[in-house]
Amino acid sequence: MKIAILCGSVFGAAEDVARHASGLLRNAGHEVLCNIRLTQAELLAFAPQALLGVTSSTGMGELPDNLQPLFYQLRDELPAALRGLPGGVIALGDSSYDDTFCGGGEQLRELFGELGVNELQDMLRLDASETVTPDTDAEPWLAQWMQQLA
């Protein structure tokens, strides 16, 4: 299956999780597109069969700068090629930011809903206050997500 990973990262942790997920997906036999500066044209040219979002949040609960151009273009154009695809979101945040905890992930999840992406399971929230290994902490969620892809 062709899986595109949409990644937003402020300090690199979400990028690490996305790269780790990419390796796990490839090892499971999937073709993966993972590019921290992914454009809509590249995404649509890849013709994904599933979407995985991996993003951190800024302190204000916003998406990281690197993901905003793709996010807004997808939101404005709602490409039909993505409608009906299976998907999921892994969000990184810090629970000490109460109201904005994993806000970037929530925004990406809402976009997936607007695009008609079918969320296979609830968004994974990884808390920087509780973990220093978000890449490996995401493995059980990813394993379950991959089972649901089959």
Q: Which two tokens stand for residue 110?
A: 């809402």
Q: How confident is residue 132, by pLDDT bands cut at 50, 70 and 90?
A: confident
Q: How confident is residue 108, by pLDDT bands cut at 50, 70 and 90?
A: very high
Question: What is the dihedral angle through the alpha carbons of 135, 141, 147, 148, rounded to the nearest 10 degrees?
Answer: -130
Average pLDDT, the chain: 95
What number of H helices and E strands is found in the chain? 6, 6
Per-residue pLDDT reduced to its tens digit, 48-105: 999 999 999 987 889 999 999 999 999 999 999 999 999 999 999 999 888 899 999 9
Question: What is the spatial distance between Cα 106 and Cα 98, in angstroms, rounded to a whole number?
Answer: 14
Superfamily, domain 2-149: Flavodoxin domain (3.40.50.360)
- Dihedral sign, CA of 146, 148, 124, 45? positive
Question: What is the spatial distance between Cα 79 and Cα 115, in angstroms, rounded to a whole number?
Answer: 7
User: What is residue 129's predicted lDDT score, i.e. its pLDDT?
Assistant: 86
Please spell the DSSP secondary structure of 17-64, one letter per residue. Answer: HHHHHHHHHHHTT-EEEE-TT--HHHHHHH--SEEEEEE---TTSPPP
Domain ranges of the chain: 2-149
